[in-house]
Amino acid sequence: MHPQFQVGDIVQAAYKSGEYIGEIVEITPKKAAVKVLAVVKHPAQGDLHRPMEVEGVMFHQRRALAYGEIVLMHPSTMMPYRGEVPEYRVSLEQALQAEIDMLRKMESWARRSLEELEKLKAEY
């Protein structure tokens, strides 16, 4: 375990495809048990091993970790968190909206890119 972390430390850590702020409640030789306090990034949807695919894959719906949920996290995914910890519900709503906004922007970009590529295809 990294010596810079101690029980009671507030950390920002990645877990699967989400990112959270939490409190270390226990330290083992290889991992730390972290109690979730806020959401930084909502988990991605779909098959993480085949991103951007929807056909022929197991498309997973992924929920954010719950407030107070304790999960084992590897120290390499953690960094000290400085600042005020946001209220869980507010952080969840912001992270969810950011994920939705990013996907909508990507959708708009893809639609416009396809339009331009179709024009080029006609020219070529």
Going from the C-alpha of 44 to that of each of 4, 23, 115, the distances in angstroms are 30, 23, 27
Residue 71 lies in a domain: yes
Per the CB < 8 A criterion, the answer to whether 42 and 99 are in contact is yes
In a domain, 53, yes or no: yes
pLDDT confidence bin for 2, thresholds 50/70/90: low
pLDDT attached to residue 10: 98
Q: In the chain, how many domains are there?
A: 1
Dihedral of CA 98/99/104/110: which sign?
positive
Going by the DSSP 8-state scheme, the letter that residue 7 receives in this structure is T
Q: What is the pLDDT of residues 30-53, one digit of tens each?
A: 999 999 999 999 999 998 888 888
Q: What is the pLDDT of residue 4?
A: 85
Classify residue 91: in a domain, yes or no.
yes
Whole-number pLDDT of residue 40: 98
Domain span holding position 65: 10-123
Domain contains 3: no
Is 1 part of any domain?
no
Is residue 69, in this structure, part of any structural domain at all?
yes
Distances in whole angstroms, Cα of residue 105 to Cα of each of 41, 45, 121 = 17, 16, 24
Q: Would you say residue 74 lies in a domain?
A: yes
CATH code of the domain in which 104 resides: 2.30.30.430
pLDDT of residue 54: 84
